[in-house]
Structure 1
Amino acid sequence: MFSWRITKYNPKNRDERGSYLDGREWTCFSEVGTKVSEEDYLRTESNYINAITTFMGEMGLNRVYLNALEMWSDEVANQNASGFLSKMWVGKGVTTQEINELAKLTLRNVIWCKLSYKNDFFVHFGYDYYMYIGANKDCPNARKKVRASGLFVENFNSPYLH
């Protein structure tokens, strides 16, 4: 299984242990308007969501399954996501459109989820705008396209595999 860490963080700004050193970097949706403009935030969020569908495209997938789901009620209400989330459950097959919404809500710290397709593909989300994608194929075209969007694709095992 191939596994990558997908982030907006330049690996050149990491120390020898992998810690990110640039404290000026924004790390979450709550920093829109203080550390990041809404326009820059939305562009980055879109790049992350597109990364998922780009890898799925190279894998030939048009749906995955929801493997884990945690919701934070205050934020669910703030993002007007109650109706959408009432139709989500662990084990549900989710379409690309639903994946886009789940990813957006996860990146905005409204929910946390894990997505996968059998043992062939996964998407995991970490704290501070870290995302992990794994596939049973190398996906060179997807990696190239995601890098061209401005995100960094590093070989990295997801800490959320268990």
Structure 2
Amino acid sequence: MPPAFVHRITKYDPDDRDEDGSYRGAEKAVSDHGPVEAAYLEAISAFAHATGTAQLEIREPSITGPVYFGVQPASPDHGLGGLFPEGLTGYHDGAEVSLEMALALVRAMLCEQGAWCRLEAGDVFTVHVGWDQYVYVGSDHPCANAVARTRELGLFAEPLTVSPYAANPEVTEVADEAFWDAVRTELRQRQRLLLEETAVVNRRHLLTAENLDAVRAGLAPRALLYFWPDLQPDVGAVLAALPTQDTVEFVWETKDGAIHSLMVDEAEYAELAALVADARSACALPLSIDEHPPLLQAALPDSDGVLRARW
């Protein structure tokens, strides 16, 4: 259950909003990297302490991709430098962090450095950041003292019914042992499968009966898994069959067995053909699976077998 009480914390005076709720004042939609940013963090800390929250869970973490719409430029390390080991180890759905670490993540989001996630302590406390320096906190009680402290800091804590960024999970099949038995059945019939692992960073694996257990052991916690037919050895045929109007994800295998992918449309097909001239095999995946569903799909449960991923 989501927290019963939600507040939108901003630097924007509600008196400077028009009848549609749009802000028309002089505040800029960027972080000042100074006193205002510090005030946001202190206000969030006040709500956390009011609810007795010292540890939070990272939910639905992401980093910026090739298309980015932030007002400020993203950071090469997505704002995670020094927070997690190299390679984003530890930055995954379900990872527990201290309140201090959570505030550092909020700072990175306020600065639009590229990382984004929800931070939650069950139904007791939540915090996440929206566009333009809008912060949403949820709590299990009104937290009147934290609201007052927010105002003392020069910010505004406005009550809401629900955050516009609240999680809205879809029902997803759990990757339990019965599911992996179905994967093994597909492998016996097809010899190889392309596994698309969706977590913070998408990865692709060519599965065989021999490497299945090793690949499975290395999957990211709570990852969403799509299983597709094997890549086709006739790369020219895959290129010739590319759609003339849609963007697709082109996946190819190099001679050394590495898997690469690229989003392309018809304007880039000539460059793509030159890029994959030496490819061993390839396929084109749709951006939407509604019309072209994978062979199998599921999300990884936690070690107790419970599916908590909210894809």
TM bin, normalised by shorter chain, reads: 0.7 to 0.9
Question: Runs in 1 of length 4+ with deviation above 3 angstroms?
Answer: 78-83
Q: Counterparts of 1:80 and 1:126 in 2: how far apart (Å)?
A: 16
The match for 1:88 among 74, 86, 91 is 91
Task: Determine the C-alpha separation between the residues in 2 that align with 1:147 and 1:14.
Answer: 18
Structure 1 gap ranges (5+) = 30-39
Aligned pairs (5 A) from 1:58-73: 58-72=50-64
Does the CA contact (< 8 Å) of 1:123 and 1:134 recur in 2? Answer: yes
For the pair 1:14 / 2:17, whether they are aligned, the reply is yes
What displacement does 1:82 show? 3.5
Q: Does 1:50 align with 2:42?
A: yes
Separation of aligned partners in 1, 2:79 and 2:166: 30
Counterpart CA distance in 2 for 1:67 and 1:79 is 17
Q: Is the 8 Å Cα contact of residues 67 and 114 (structure 1) preserved in structure 2?
A: yes
Report the CA distance shift for 1:102/1:80 in structure 2 as closer, same or farther (over 3 A).
closer
Is contact 1:71–1:112 with CA below 8 Å preserved after alignment? yes
CA-CA distance at 1:92 after TM superposition: 0.9
- Structure 2 unmatched runs, 5+: 66-72, 168-311
Contact 2:58-2:94 at 8 Å conserved across structures: yes
Give the structure, 1 or 2, with the largest relative contact order (CA under 8 Å, sep 6 or more). 1
Partner of 1:115: 119
Larger radius of gyration: 2
The alpha-carbon deviation at position 143 of structure 1 amounts to: 0.7
TM-score normalised per structure 2? 0.46
Asked if structure 2 preserves the Cα contact closer than 8 Å seen for 1:124 and 1:133, the reply is yes
| 1:158 paired to 2:163 | yes
Among candidates 135, 144, 154, match of residue 140 of structure 1: 144
Aligned to 1:35: none
Q: Which residue number corresponds to residue 97 of structure 1?
A: 100
TM-score by length of 1: 0.85
In proportion to residue count, which structure has more helix?
1
Correspondence for 2:132: 128
Aligned-residue RMSD, C-alpha: 1.9
Deviation at 1:21, TM superposition (A): 1.1
Q: Distance in 2 between matches of 1:63 and 1:128?
A: 26
Given that 1:47 and 1:151 are in contact with CA atoms closer than 8 Å, whether structure 2 keeps it comes out as yes
Matches of 1:80 and 1:130 in 2, distance apart? 18
Aligned residue in 2 for 1:75:
74
**Number of residue pairs matched?**
151
Percent same amino acid at aligned positions? Answer: 32
3-state DSSP class of the match of 1:75?
coil
